[in-house]
Amino acid sequence: MNGWIDSILQGVMLGAIYALFAAGLSLVFGVMRLVNVAHGDFIVLSAFIALWLQRITGFSSPFLTLILLVPLMFLVGYVLQRVILNPAFGADILRPVLITFGLSVIIQNGLLQGFSADSQKLHGGKLEVASIALPGGLAIGVLPLLTLGVSAAMIGLLQWMLYRTKLGRALRATSADLSTAGLMGVNTSHLFAMAAGIAMVTVAVAGVFTGIRASFDAVSGPDWLIFAFEAVIIGGLGSLWGTLAGGLILGMAQTTGARFSPGWQLLSGHLVFLAILILCPRGLFPRRTE
């Protein structure tokens, strides 16, 4: 019995990472209807930049690199959206998607060139092995617990930003009706770029947390992207709390599947994803309107 509880607990912790992967994807899709195929690669890119920052600054903890990484990735997201993706928006919804596909190839090959194909890891020091003992011989790692907290806080912040701030109101209005938002005085190019920048902030955080938890290499991005996609779709497109729930469900499906056989971990995650897609095609918590 304890084994099952442990699996579910570990699944929640794993799912927190997936929710972190998916938060930015969900925001960008919700606001711009844009599927960013390079999302996973940007997470890997963040992890590599954190690694490099730690090397040149001598920061003892990879978390400290976030001080520089977060503004840097915000800027990357803003400029990318404003200069490359915004002009591609229009009647053809495939065009921006193809551009992100191209970005994915560029990032992977750039990382191969700059950091070689070697597998890398961020070192979190003592935090990585610290754990809290629970009754019944169970234990929770401090790092996964921290990840869960950060993941939930991040989604909560995004939700607050979207529903309680002027920026969020304008984002939702622009998402509903681009040209009428322009009539209200909203510079929609700037606003989309802000959304992309904010999504990149979640990417930076996801990159650091994932880089500490697991090893990564230049081509890990697509694997991570799949989990992010699945979390978003399980939760329902455009719903941020749904994305958190989707991440947790995916994580739990994987760890409980792994109890049967280690080889089943990924398969059981995909199977649960497919089952949910068949039973509720719009996800578990689809956005009410539209």
Partner 1 sequence: MNLLSVSKLNAYYGDFQALFDVDFHAHPGEVIAIIGANGAGKSTFLNAIAGNVTGRGNSITFAEEAISGLRSWQIVSRGIALVPEGRRLFSSLTVEENLLMGAYANTKDAWPLTHIYETFPQLKLKAKQSALSLSGGEQQMVAIGRALISNPLLLMCDELSLGLAPMVVHDIYETLTTVRERGVTLIIVEQNVRQALAFADRVYCFQEGRVSLTGRAGELKPEDVSRAYFGLAGAA
- Contacting residues toward partner 1, per CB under 8 A: 166, 169-170, 172-173, 175-177, 179-188, 287, 289-290
Closest distance to partner 1 from the beta carbon of 182 (Å): 4
Determine contact, residues 222/104, Cβ cutoff 8 Å. Answer: yes
Exposure class string for 226-249: b at 16+ Cβ within 10 A, else e:
bbbbbbbbbbbbbbbbbbbbbbbb
CA distance 237 to 231: 10
State in angstroms the smallest separation of the CB of 175 from partner 1. Answer: 7
- Nearest residue (CB) to partner 1, 137 versus 185: 185
213: tokens are 């938890």
- Judge whether 200 and 208 are in contact, CB under 8 Å: no
Minimum CB distance to partner 1 smaller for 177 or for 223? 177
Cβ nearer to partner 1, comparing 57 with 180? 180
CB 250 within 8 Å of CB 272: yes
Bridge partners for 132 per DSSP? 140
CA distances from 41 to 26, 106, 242 (A): 16, 9, 23
Q: Which is nearer to partner 1, 186 or 214 (CB)?
A: 186
Least distance between partner 1 and beta carbon 288 (Å): 8
Q: Min. distance of Cβ 196 from partner 1 in angstroms?
A: 18
Mapped onto helix, strand or coil, the DSSP state of residue 185 is coil
Q: How far is the CB of 158 from partner 1 (least distance, A)?
A: 16
Q: How far is the CB of 285 from partner 1 (least distance, A)?
A: 15
Alpha-carbon gap, residue 274 to 140, rounded angstroms: 29
Q: Which is closer to partner 1, CB of 141 or CB of 286?
A: 286
Comparison of 113 and 289: residue with beta carbon closer to partner 1: 289
For CA atoms 87, 114, 22, 256, the dihedral sign is positive
Please provide residue 27's backbone torsions phi and psi, each rounded to the nearest 5 degrees. -65, -50
